[in-house]
């Protein structure tokens, strides 16, 4: 089961990386287009080569229309795509100052409780995203500039949130089994894990 969860988490991380890379490229193209558009409208090029400058402006040299709408939707998905691998490998930030002062037996009890709460929060987020998605579908809301349906972004984020919730439940179950059995079943990165 751990191998399957790791494969699922890695697949999501790769998918999130692809989306994030595409968003970086989109942002760079948009910034370059915005800068070139400003230069083409500037007095220097309008004075030296007004015909070429106007032709390039008419050809569409400028920022990508709706770039921030696409970035907003894509980043939301990417965040949820990275959570499963981060959670499965123990990559979350942790402040162990308080926990290190507690007895070992207390930490064995505390860890599953934290994982259960985290899994519950991930389930809650997925449920609210589903509710928001159905609401956006019902009312037919679209983005302002490029008019793509907002529910698409919710659906993409929901996909990542559901996978995150599945991994969260798995990690919580493993931590409960560890607490009950006293054996390590799920190794994290900082403890010699994968």
For the chain, what is the radius of gyration of the CA atoms?
Answer: 24
**Residue-wise pLDDT tens digits, 53-94:** 888 888 888 888 999 999 999 999 999 999 999 999 988 777
The tokens of 101 are what?
A: 């002062």
Give the whole-number percent of the chain exceeding pLDDT 70.
Answer: 96
Distance of CA 149 to the CA centre of its chain: 19
Taking the CA atoms of residue 151, residue 154, residue 158 and residue 164 in that order, the dihedral angle to the nearest 10 degrees is 170
The residue that leads in pLDDT, 96 or 189, is 96
């Amino acid at each position: 089961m751990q191998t399957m969860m790791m494969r699922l988490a890695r697949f999501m991380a790769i998918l999130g990386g692809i989306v994030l890379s595409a968003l970086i490229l989109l942002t760079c193209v948009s910034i370059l287009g915005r800068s070139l558009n400003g230069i083409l409208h500037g007095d220097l090029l309008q004075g030296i080569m007004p015909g070429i400058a106007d032709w390039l402006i008419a050809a569409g040299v400028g920022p990508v229309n709706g770039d921030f709408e696409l970035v907003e939707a894509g980043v939301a998905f990417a965040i949820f795509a990275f959570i499963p691998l981060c959670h499965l490998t123990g990559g979350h930030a942790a402040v162990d100052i308080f926990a290190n002062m507690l007895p070992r037996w207390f930490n064995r009890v505390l860890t599953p409780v934290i994982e259960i709460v985290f899994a519950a929060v991930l389930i809650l987020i997925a449920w609210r995203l589903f509710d928001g998605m159905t609401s956006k579908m019902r009312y037919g809301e679209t983005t302002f500039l490029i008019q793509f349906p907002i529910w698409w972004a919710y659906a993409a984020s929901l996909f990542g949130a559901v996978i995150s919730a599945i991994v969260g439940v798995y990690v919580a179950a493993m931590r409960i089994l560890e607490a009950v059995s006293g054996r390590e079943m799920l190794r994290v990165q900082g403890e010699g894990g994968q």
